[in-house]
Amino acid sequence: MRSWSLFGVLTLLLALESSAFKAHDFKTCSQSGFCRRGRALSARAKEAKSSWVSPYSVDPTSINISANEAVFTASVKSSLYPDINFGLEVRIQEDGVTRVRMDEVGGLRKRYDGAAAWALIAEPAISTEIKWTAGKKDTRAIYGEKKDIEVVVAYEPLRISLRRNGKEQIVLNGQGLLHMEHFRKKIVPATTTEEPAPIEGEGAEGEGQAVLKAENPLSWFEGEEEDDLWEETFLSWTDSKPKGPESLSLDINFPNHGSVYGIPQHATRLALPTTAGNEPTFTDPYRLYNADVFEYLASSPVSLYGSIPLMHAHSTESTVAVFHVVGSETWIDVSHPSDKSTETHWISESGILDTFLLPGPTAEDVFKQYSRLTGTPVLPAQWSLGYHQCRWNYVSSDDVRTVQKRFDEEDMPVDVFWLDIEYSEDHKYFMWKDKTFPDPVEMTNDVAANGRKMVVIVDPHLKRDQNYPAFKQASELGILVKPKSGEGEYEGWCWPGSSSWTDFFNPASWDWWKSMFKTQETEGKWSWTKSTTDIHIWNDMNEPSVFNGPEITMPKDNIHYGGWEHRDIHNINGMLFSNLTFQAVAERTDPPTRPFVLTRAFFAGSQRFGAMWTGDNLGTWEHMAVGVKMVLANGLGGLSFAGSDVGGFFGNPEPEMLVRWYQVGAFAPFFRAHAHIDTKRREPFLLDEPYKGIVKDILRLRYTLLPIWYTAFRETTVTGMPILRPQFIVFPKDKTGFEIDDQYYIGSSGLLVKPVTEKDAREAKVYLAEDQVYYDYFTNLAYRGTSKGKEISVPAALDQLPLFIRGGSILATRERPRRSSPLMKRDPFTLRVALSKAGNARGELYLDDGVTYDHLKGQFIWREFVAEKNGKKGLRLSSIDLGAAKPAEAVDGAALTTYNPTNDFAKSIWDVRVEKVVIVGLSSKPTSVKVEGGADLVWEYTPGVASSEKGGSPSILAVKDPKVLIQKDWAIVIQ
């Protein structure tokens, strides 16, 4: 380990945090040995064209088909290395998903096969109904309600395809790019200092002799020369590669799907641009390698903070997906042989082949299938859907109190105040800087007195200081990551200077980490007693970020629990940190309460443990725009609870940009403003008018819509459907919408938002994909789409946000301004009924206490509101108990068989009522409005166009205080 002076560390940190994106700090494919080998393999295959044949084949004599389950196993041979054995297993699960696994059998070493164990919630159930049929050339299984799905395993060469109605949906190894580099012994060339004796008759003295190089019979597939198989250097770092080559190459093609999405996290368009083929958008593949990339480019395939190896493929006919479960660095090329097909090439550094084929055929089906594998997003604490105020750093406890006071003086709602790393003494997390934060518990209590919370950062690096209890305990327990020797403790540099990292793959670390968060000392163990249960946690730098490491992360030859190298588990590492923190925060109380944990690094399954954000973005219009696309992409990867830093982490955005960014943030699931330590203060109350008033209205709008956000979260916890839904999900057969990623829908609410992300824009273009009426949320002005799709122009002055209600929707909102969301618990509701062109509408509302897990015991309210025609011109608006009608579908994690409408939570808000009903688009003025079985109501009617007409100012019926209760069945009849 090289010696670093304090000056050197400070210089390094300053350089890291003050400069723009440094491409040379991160590898391109051409600088990565295994990626070079994979791409070269693809190039040789393309050059060979039809003469290229994969060397991998199934040994037909080895085939075994389970008698009781849909499991096919066989031996696989490579003609390149006949003595190397591979095992293939193909399973078909109960839900129709196909799992393909291949591993080296009896090799010199074992490949890492644990990625799925961390990503999956359980071992998937295998079908006992589906049957395989073995033939001379392939083995097949046909299944599905219509017997329209077929999985085919071809023997020679090995080729696996998923078909629907005879059409190939997903093909593995169709281009013959499968290559699992087997473990081998390093051959050291013999060296000698002696001249060989001349052989009689083979040239006289003085004659020139030609040196003949032996022909490499494997070069057609692997190339002529070895390429960084045993050691690799990047800048000043050398990766020792003690296991030698072990990469995995696999082509995954979608012959009948022309658009692909997913594989977050990248700063690019939602429909993934090409990286290969003719005139690709990017020249490098998409990289999945969790990295601390600050000031990242706004359009790039460069790896960012998280990695989810899930790709959706879409066409007008169907949606399918592949989940390629590998935890090591992975590069993915994307190309389109035609506008109706997609080819992808996945190149991973290590791990087994473990790939799930998700057959769809709809986007909803794909999300359900993926959720059954990795889990749905967790239902968050309701307060965490409010506004979060953060910067690096609020400098003292008095600073926090002052910021809270200013929000209250300006009547701006806020739920959470955040503290970055400077709260801690010498960046020793859990330990407050006494000079500036002398009273952390009292400070937190002052914040909590207004129903608010604190979020405090806890990074994974531990300062190497024997006076720091966290490091001392971890060191004594032997749970720190080890260097490549496998002995001692790895030492790297981060915010505290010399640091070590807890190895959360080691089970011995789990209970210890959870004990650190206890707010009361137990059994003489040190814990965070200067804390309260109103403090929640921000996990940053968990890629992990190592300032003096290769690519600003940990060396790949570091050793984790079980002897695995860091290269094997790098992309999984950050998820384990947030997972354990999530558990730790929940278990501070008995019974546990819902924690809030924000993570920067993530992997498949991270949705089970909280929220994420898009990292260290810039205060630019380009970053504002790409942030929308990135949050949409994260939703496709299962991580719906996502957002970008409002205002950009770096820079000083002008007031117009800041206003627009608040509009973007207010319509992301996670809504936080954050700023770098070198930026000017930009809390919303510091803005001049009219900007301050506009932002205040945006904040209040977010709180008005909180019931809609929370209801959308309930849905995603059950179905896995993303909260933010791009056009291709809502309108899967509308090809025009496949590329649209600058507008989206909020859950099933019917809200359509088009954030404005361009400077000086005063008008916006919004695409309506259907022959349906859409109402401007603020003015009620009606716009009509067409069956072929229609682009409309709408006003978008700085104080105007293009926000629409889709005809046929009912919104439940809370209109009374409050300081924080917990203070809204007993506020009444307003129902906004936006009639469809057919004259009907529906919507949902979900409520629970927002804090505990009592909803899993049936402590909630789940209502459906339905507006339907009543006679020739009448309308009946009713409230129906969905909890009683569909108890098993109400909440994730608890298959309720019954539901009690008078549960304790319902009793606690028994008198919460509907204070106003607004119905938009009636065909004529009513003659009477009354509660069914009750008295006439007070109402006011404004004439206008009906929902069935082409557009304009619609009619509006406002019903004042019908006094119907949220938890009860009721109906309002309009004649």
H/E segment holding residue 719? helix 706-719
Angle between helices 691-704 and 706-719 (to 10 degrees): 50
Active site residue 645: no
- Widest pairwise Cα distance in the chain: 121
φ, ψ for residue 687, nearest 5 deg? -70, 150
96 sits in the region (left: phi over 0; alpha: psi -120 to 50; else beta) called left
Identify the active-site residue in 103, 540, 892, 915: 540
Residue 861, helix vs strand vs coil: strand
Provide the b/e sequence for 923-939 (b: ≥16 CB within 10 Å). Answer: beebeebbbeeeeebeb
- Alpha helices by DSSP H, 530-620: 566-586
* Cα distance between the two ends of the chain: 82
Residue 165, helix vs strand vs coil: coil
Q: How far apart are CA 684 and CA 676, in angstroms?
A: 16
Q: Is 745 in contact with 716 (CB distance < 8 Å)? A: no
Please choose, from the candidates 963, 950, 608, the residue with its C-alpha nearest in 3D space to the C-alpha of residue 783: 950
Residue 692, helix vs strand vs coil: helix
Identify the active-site residue in 232, 489, 557, 616: 616
Identify the active-site residue in 239, 365, 543, 715: 543
SS3 readout for 764-799: EEEEECCCCEEEECCCCCEEECCCCCEEEEEECCCC
H/E segment holding residue 634? helix 621-636
Please choose, from the candidates 320, 304, 312, 324, the residue with its C-alpha nearest in 3D space to the C-alpha of residue 271: 312
For residue 342, list its beta bridge partners.
254
Q: Is 360 in contact with 319 (CB distance < 8 Å)? A: yes
Q: Which two tokens stand for residue 467?
A: 């006076």
| Helix, strand, coil percentages in the chain from 3-state DSSP, rounded to 5 | 25, 30, 50
Residue 876, helix vs strand vs coil: strand
Active site residue 543: yes
> Which residues have CB under 8 Å from 105's CB, separation 6+?
75, 85, 86, 87
Q: How far is CA 480 from the centre of its chain?
A: 28
Q: Which two tokens stand for residue 965?
A: 């209760």
Query: Which amino acid does the sequence have at 43?
Result: A
Active site residue 616: yes
H/E segment holding residue 418? strand 416-419
616 sits in the region (left: phi over 0; alpha: psi -120 to 50; else beta) called beta
H/E segment holding residue 809? strand 809-813
Q: Is 490 in contact with 500 (CB distance < 8 Å)? A: yes
Catalytic residues: 540, 543, 616
